[in-house]
C-alpha cells in the first residue's frame, strides 16, 4: 500500500506515519531522512542536494523527486511505503504521479490529519526540547518528571524558536498556501482519507486504520 501523509505542522502526521508503516510493515519515508542518508553516504544525488543546502537554497523539485524515486526503488519498498513530508506542493504531486505511473504504480491513499490552527498553536507552544541530548517533551502530554529539567541528562529544557506561537503561525500560513491544495488534488483523484487529529493519538491511529481498511 502506497500512502501519503498530509496535515499541518504539529498535526501529528509524523507520529501516525511511523505507526502506520510499522503496522503495514513497509518503510516510513521522509525527504529529510532521504537527504541525510544520501549526504552521509556521499552519493551523487546527495552531493547535488548538499550543494543547494549549503548555499541556503531549497533543493529543486526535480532533484527531490530523483531522490524519492531512487529510495522507493529499494527492495524494501516492493510492498509499499508511507511518505511523510512529500509531496508538499501541487507541482511535486503531479511530478510524483507521472513518475509512479511510468512504473505502473499509483498512490493508494492520501491521509489528511485535520487539526484546527488554534489547537496546533497550543500543542506546539507546549513542546520543550533538551538541546544537550535531543530529548523532547510536552508540558501537557509528556511532561518531564521535574519541570524544566530533562529526565535523560538533567539539562535545562527550552521552547525552540520553531515552536513559538509567532513562528508556528508563519509555518501554518505557508502550509495553507502551498500544501493544503493537495487535499483537493487527492480528493479529485478519489484517494483522500481524512481523520480527526484532535482525538487521542491512539484513537486517531485506529480511525486511520479503518479508513485504510486494515
Q: Is 175 inside a domain boundary?
A: yes
| Beta carbons within 10 angstroms of residue 90's beta carbon | 14
* Residue 129 resides in a domain: no
Look at the block and give the residue holding cell 481498511. Answer: 213
Catalytic pick among 2, 13, 19, 128: 13
Domain total of the chain: 1
User: From edge to edge, which strands make up the β-sheet containing 127-130?
Assistant: 136-138, 127-130, 157-158
Residue 96 lies in a domain: yes
Please check whether residue 39 lies inside any domain of the structure. no
171 part of the active site: yes
* Residue-level pLDDT, tens digit, the chain, 214 residues: 999 999 998 899 989 999 999 999 999 999 888 998 999 999 999 999 999 988 888 889 999 999 999 999 999 999 999 999 899 999 999 999 999 999 999 999 999 999 999 999 988 899 999 999 989 899 988 899 999 999 999 999 999 888 899 999 998 998 999 889 999 999 999 999 999 999 999 999 999 999 999 8
193 occurs within a structural domain: yes
Catalytic residue among 2, 71, 123, 127: 127
Global pTM value: 0.84
Tell me whether residue 48 is one of the annotated catalytic residues. no
Residue 2 among the catalytic residues: no
Check residue 188 and give its pLDDT. 96
CB 115 within 8 A of CB 45: no
Residue 210 among the catalytic residues:
no
In angstroms, the CA 109 to CA 125 distance is: 31
Residue 127 among the catalytic residues: yes
Strand 136-138, strand 127-130: pairing: antiparallel
Residue-wise over 9-38: b if at least 16 C-beta within 10 A, else e? bbbbbbebbebbbeebebbbbbbeebbeeb
Note whether residue 101 is domain-resident. Answer: yes
The answer to the question of residue 187 being in a domain is yes
Q: What is the CATH number of the domain that holds 205?
A: 3.40.50.300
Where in the sequence is the domain holding 208, given as residue range(s)?
A: 2-26+79-116+171-212
On whether residue 150 sits in a domain, the answer given is no
Which listed residue (48, 50, 88, 187) is catalytic?
88
Amino acid at each position: 500500500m502506497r500512502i501519503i501523509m498530509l496535515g499541518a505542522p504539529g498535526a501529528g502526521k509524523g507520529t501516525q506515519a511511523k505507526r502506520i508503516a510499522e503496522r503495514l510493515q513497509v518503510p516510513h519515508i521522509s525527504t529529510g531522512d532521504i537527504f541525510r542518508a544520501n549526504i552521509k553516504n556521499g552519493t551523487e544525488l546527495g552531493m547535488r542536494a548538499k550543494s543547494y543546502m549549503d548555499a541556503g537554497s531549497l533543493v529543486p523539485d526535480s532533484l527531490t523527486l530523483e531522490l524519492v524515486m531512487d529510495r522507493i526503488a529499494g527492495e524494501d519498498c516492493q510492498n509499499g511505503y508511507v511518505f511523510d513530508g512529500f509531496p508538499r506542493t501541487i507541482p511535486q504531486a503531479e511530478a510524483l504521479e507521472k513518475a509512479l505511473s511510468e512504473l505502473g504504480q499509483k498512490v493508494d491513499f492520501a491521509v489528511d490529519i485535520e487539526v484546527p490552527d488554534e489547537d496546533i498553536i497550543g500543542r506546539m507552544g507546549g513542546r520543550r526540547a533538551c538541546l544537550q541530548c535531543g530529548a523532547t517533551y510536552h508540558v501537557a502530554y509528556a511532561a518531564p518528571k521535574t519541570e524544566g529539567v530533562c529526565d535523560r541528562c538533567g539539562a535545562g529544557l527550552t521552547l525552540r524558536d520553531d515552536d513559538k506561537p509567532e513562528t508556528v503561525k508563519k509555518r501554518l500560513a505557508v502550509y495553507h498556501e502551498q500544501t493544503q491544495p493537495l487535499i483537493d488534488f487527492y480528493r479529485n483523484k478519489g484517494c483522500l482519507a481524512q481523520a480527526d487529529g484532535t482525538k487521542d493519538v491512539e484513537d486517531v491511529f485506529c480511525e486511520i486504520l479503518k479508513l485504510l481498511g486494515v
